[in-house]
Amino acid sequence: MNESNSPYIVAIGGTLRPGSSTEKAMSHVLRAAERAGARTRLLSGPALQLPMYQPENAERTDGARDLVAQLAKADGIILGSPGYHGSISGLVKNALDYAEDLRNDRRPYFSGRAVGCIATAGGWPGAVNTLSALRDIVHALRGWPTPLGAAINSGERVFDEHGVCLSPRVAEMLDIIAVEVVEFCGRDRSS
């Protein structure tokens, strides 16, 4: 597959802490998407440290303009959030609020795009609740959540310090999410 035909997958999420479990999980998915023929980009950590979204204020920072441009260009999206108090983090929620700038785009919001969702938390209830919240947001933004989402208990040692997934079950889930997003992009491009 040449680059012009390769789907472009953007991952958004994580924390301000470099190498967070969420960032490692999104990086794993992007590597799997690349093996499946996609081009990828990760927007995490400081790239998401944006001013609070204000729809009535048209001024945007360079980072906010880049985020919106990458979402507009994306054929598929990966969202990842840590679970903070039973839901997504403020950092991720604020970044997703910038998708409102796509309301008049040729593909409004996340329309026509598969979105893989990943949630990490220091226990199963927080991870599952956060995954559910991400899926609800994808629906609200007119995206197609992949059939499989990943709830990851980061209270267990899932990744090593280099980002290698130590859990075969989690690695398989993340690989499946990548394939689902890339395959959906292929179907969309052939119609």
Structural domain total, the chain: 1
Can you give the residue range of the structural domain that contains 48?
3-190
d(CA 138, CA 92): 13
The pLDDT confidence band at residue 184, using thresholds 50, 70 and 90, is very high
pLDDT at residue 191 tops 60: no
d(CA 67, CA 98): 8
Residue 137: both structure tokens together: 């947001």
Compute the C-alpha angle 69/15/26, nearest 5°. 65
**CA distances (Å), origin 184, targets 31, 38, 47, 76:** 17, 12, 27, 8
Nearest residue to 143 (alpha-carbon basis) of 134, 151, 155: 134
Output the domain CATH number for residue 110: 3.40.50.360
The per-residue pLDDT for range 123-162, each reduced to its tens digit, is 999 999 999 999 999 999 999 999 999 999 999 999 999 9
Instruction: State the pLDDT at residue 4.
Output: 66
Which residues, 6 or more positions from 21, have their beta carbon under 8 angstroms from its beta carbon? 82, 120, 152, 154, 158, 159
Averaged pLDDT, 14-18: 93
Question: How many CA atoms, within 13 angstroms, populate the side-chain half-sphere of residue 23?
Answer: 18
* Contact status, residue 67 vs residue 10, Cβ threshold 8 Å: no
* Contact status, residue 182 vs residue 29, Cβ threshold 8 Å: no
Average predicted confidence (pLDDT) for the chain? 94
